[in-house]
Structure 1
Amino acid sequence: MRIDIVGAGAIGLLFAGELSAAGHNVHLWTRTEEQADWINRHGIELEHHNGLRNTVKTGIEAGVLSRGWAEKAEGSAWVLLAVKQRHLTSGLLDSLAFIKESHVPVVCLQNGMGHLDRLASYLSRDQLYAAVTTEGAKKLSANQVIRSNPGQTRLGSPFEADPVKLTEIADVLGQAGFGAQVAKDIEREMHRKLLMNAAINPLTALWRIPNGELLTSEYRRGALEGLISEALAIYERLGIPYDADIGEQIKEVCRTTSGNISSMLADVQRGEETEVDFINGYLVEMAGKAGMSAPAHEWVWRLIKGLSNT
């Protein structure tokens, strides 16, 4: 099966490497010619949480996004959109016209919220699928990635896409070693992930600490709990369902990923723009629509934005 993956960050490299190792024909689209050339010459190097390493060279081909990628992906069985929300530029979105014409199903792997409605303006709603993943991955170089925390990937149809196709891609990912399942309510899963990211990510980025260290003092735990409580008040006002023990679930994520660096901290360390606009910023927007304020989330949003001069 041919699968096109757009974006060669940590998650893109991880999915490309594992799917290729499982025997699929993977086309990986990168933002730079240097990364594409390096992957074509050296393959993808995967390191697993148990220390096992392997290099995948067969069944994978890398290309540059700026060179008509979507036209070449018309014959693909699936497109996995693994770029961060900030990379959903007008140029990339405009290029999706070829994908819309061929009606290739697209799985969206972005953090945060708001991207699906935006993508629905460029693609048919019935070809859009959403994925929420807790896979832990760290990109070491242009072609090296560590799978630090095997997680779960929940798949769903936010609009009216074919549920049979969901089972197909879940099976494909399962065969490649991912814990993939079709979610009964993908919107609920997305709001759950939004809450986790909004509580954990900005604090780890501001304090420059791995996830587990959020629980090491009463002040850090208090800040974490404050962000959770404020978000839940927004959810309650808007009628968004959540698990009664969601606060403990978030703390358990901190424990099970104790040594992991959040994606927001990784962006800060690299001096790159973060996804805070689509996480905490999105919650602030939700609060405004609900006629509420969200001072804690607005404060961490502004602090993260202030780390950059732009």
Structure 2
Amino acid sequence: MRIMIVGAGSLGLLFAAKLAAYCERLTVITRTREQAGELAGQGLEFNDADGCQKLKQNESLEFGYFIEEEQKAAVATNSKPYDYIFLMVKQPAITKELVDYLDNHMDERTYLLCFQNGMGHEEKLGEVIDSHRLLLAVTTEGARRDGFTRVSHTGHGVTYIGSMQHSEEIDPSAHFLLVELLGKAGFQSEMSKNMDVRIWSKLIINAVINPLTAIMRVTNGELLNTTSSMSLMEALYQEAYAVALAQGVALPDRLWESLLGVCTATSQNHSSMLQDIENSRPTEIDRINGSLLAIANKLNMKLPTHETVYLLVKALE
């Protein structure tokens, strides 16, 4: 199978490291020349419970970069198309230039698998790319990037894959080879016909954990340490849950327990939003809490806690 991974953050490098041995061709596209150069020269160092290994660039594994001004990636050309492109950048990075670049690397056999948090990216991608070629992914895999070329697997999870067309019945065998490949690489994955529930569940979990850790400058687990932070979590959760119900989404009964479980399982992790604030980068607050506020506004609903944390994160940005 031929796969391109666009985005070399923690998840991008994790999937690249574990999939490399099972792909006919694996291309990793970074956002800077510097990272692509270090990966090509030093290799990709991967750490998990079984130890450390380093993967070097070779004829089946290559590293390149995409820069908007150039609108191209510095990788070797290959006549064979990619079977899948894994889009593993954050939502703010999905620009018109990047969407055009993705479209230029797809043909009628290529699927784009989107791993973004929040909502809204599917509409932007669907304006250029055939919606039947778009797949959504929700993963609970844990990873930490330690520099440009090192990644650690910090927690096993599940990756759900489904169609962008929520009403469309998915043939479970349509992407059997992809699920099989991910399984060989050590990722538990499955096709899902209710991606709206998966996406809403992850959105709510992110909308509770990410902004609070960014504002308080704490790890995920530290949110559980005080009654005040727990009260804020519950207020954010209840407001988001009400929006989902108003949208007709049947959320899991134990979603609150799942949210607390994520905090416990990733207790030492710095959320992506906290890392963005610490490194003076734009956050995904507009696509996470901001998307909830936009939906609530259309429904004439008020989300005072979400509005407060949204404004606080925007002020920190």
Q: Secondary structure at the match of 2:85?
A: strand
CA contact (8 A) 2:45 2:150 kept: yes
The residue that corresponds to 1:268 in the other structure is 277
Q: Secondary structure at the match of 1:278?
A: coil
The residue that corresponds to 1:61 in the other structure is 62
TM-score by length of 2: 0.92
1:80 is aligned to 2:89: no
TM alignment of 1:1-310, pairs within 5 A:
1-48=1-48, 50=49, 52-57=51-56, 58=58, 59-66=60-67, 68-69=72-73, 72=77, 75-159=81-165, 163-308=172-317
Q: Distance in 1 between matches of 2:123 and 2:53?
A: 38
Give the direction of change, closer, same or farther, for the CA distance of 1:214–1:51 in structure 2 (3 Å limit): farther
Residue identity opposite 1:68 in structure 2:
K
Q: Distance in 1 between matches of 2:192 and 2:310?
A: 30
Q: Distance in 2 between matches of 1:165 and 1:120?
A: 20
Deviations 1:57-114 (A, max 9, x none): 1432011213534995761111111111100011111223324544411100111111
Deviation at 1:234, TM superposition (A): 1.1
Deviation at 1:163, TM superposition (A): 4.8
Q: Which runs of 4+ in 1 moved over 6 A?
A: none
Residue identity opposite 1:18 in structure 2:
K
Which stretch has the larger CA shift, 255-264 or 274-283?
255-264
CA contact (8 A) 1:155 1:166 kept: no
CA contact (8 A) 1:138 1:147 kept: yes
Identity %, equivalent residues:
37
Q: Distance in 1 between matches of 2:50 and 2:223?
A: 26
Q: Distance in 2 between matches of 1:135 and 1:280?
A: 22
Deviation at 1:24, TM superposition (A): 4.3
Which stretch has the larger CA shift, 16-25 or 105-114?
16-25
Which stretch has the larger CA shift, 101-110 or 83-92?
101-110
Contiguous gaps of at least 5 residues in structure 1: none
Give the direction of change, closer, same or farther, for the CA distance of 1:35–1:56 in structure 2 (3 Å limit): same
Q: Distance in 1 between matches of 2:117 and 2:310?
A: 15
CA contact (8 A) 1:3 1:78 kept: yes
Which stretch has the larger CA shift, 92-101 or 117-126?
92-101
Residue identity opposite 1:281 in structure 2:
G
Give the direction of change, closer, same or farther, for the CA distance of 1:285–1:239 in structure 2 (3 Å limit): same
